[in-house]
């Protein structure tokens, strides 16, 4: 004897099974590793920064781009023109105490072809911000939340930076005589 819910269940399973085909048919694909338009890069920033380590990790995980210790050994050089974090007061309560902050991270950079000195990517800015509600009765929790928000902004910054590096237009090589 057939169960009355069987046809509906079969139809739902058929639709569920067809969903990946429909999504693939529209051109959707998961974001994979980004191919960089250069073979090697020198990161012109302190090797001891947490941000530098995060960029290195993502570049290594992304593909076969070599990260060099010396600028002259690289095809391109990432020049960091500004890397600033700020904490700005957004709102005060009626007693004049801070009620809300805005955490900001401004990162300005450019990408230069080492051999020609031409810009592969002109001065670019990544500006990120997060709002942080503040309560001085929960000081430790708010300090931890601030750390997490800055870490989240750093992860966003690294992803945006890699997308921009992947879109860099490498200068044409000079013709050989």
Q: How far apart are CA 157 and CA 58, in angstroms?
A: 12
- The confidence score (pLDDT) of residue 143 equals 94
Q: Is the pTM of this model over 0.95?
A: no
- Burial of 159: CB neighbours in 10 Å, binned 0-12, 13-18, 19+: middle
Res 23 pLDDT > 60: no
Domain definitions of the chain by residue range: 34-166
Q: How far apart are CA 156 and CA 55, in angstroms?
A: 11
pLDDT by residue (tens digit) across 31-72? Answer: 555 689 999 999 999 999 999 999 999 999 988 899 999 999
Average of per-residue pLDDT values in the chain: 86
CATH fold of 34-166 reads Double Stranded RNA Binding Domain (3.30.160)
Q: In what order do the strands lie in the sheet with 66-68?
A: 66-68, 40-44, 76-92, 98-113, 119-133
Q: Note the Cα 30 to chain centre separation in Å.
A: 16
Q: How far apart are CA 142 and CA 133, in angstroms?
A: 8
Res 80 pLDDT > 80: yes
14-23, 53-62, 72-81, 116-125: segment of lowest average pLDDT: 14-23
- The confidence score (pLDDT) of residue 122 equals 95
Short-list 43, 32, 109, CA closest to 71: 43
Res 83 pLDDT > 70: yes
Over pLDDT 70: what percentage of the chain? 78
- The confidence score (pLDDT) of residue 84 equals 97
- For residues 119-147, average pLDDT: 95
pLDDT by residue (tens digit) across 148-173? Answer: 999 999 999 999 999 999 999 888 76
Banded pLDDT at 4 (limits 50, 70, 90):
low
């Amino acid at each position: 004897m057939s169960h009355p819910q069987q046809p509906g269940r079969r139809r739902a399973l058929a639709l569920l099974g067809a969903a990946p085909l429909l999504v693939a048919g529209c051109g959707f694909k998961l974001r994979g590793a980004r191919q960089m338009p250069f073979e090697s890069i020198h990161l012109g920033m302190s090797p001891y920064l947490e941000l530098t380590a995060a960029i290195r990790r993502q570049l290594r995980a992304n593909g076969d781009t070599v990260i060099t210790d010396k600028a002259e050994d690289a095809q391109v050089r990432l020049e960091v023109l500004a890397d600033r974090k700020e904490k700005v007061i957004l709102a005060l309560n009626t007693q004049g105490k801070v009620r809300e902050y805005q955490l900001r991270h401004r990162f300005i950079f450019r990408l230069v072809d080492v051999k020609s000195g031409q810009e592969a990517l002109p001065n670019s800015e990544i500006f990120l911000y997060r709002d942080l509600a503040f309560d001085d009765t929960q000081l430790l929790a708010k300090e931890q939340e601030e750390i997490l928000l800055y870490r989240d902004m750093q992860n966003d910054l690294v992803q945006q930076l890699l997308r921009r590096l992947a879109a860099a237009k490498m200068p044409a090589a000079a013709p050989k005589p």
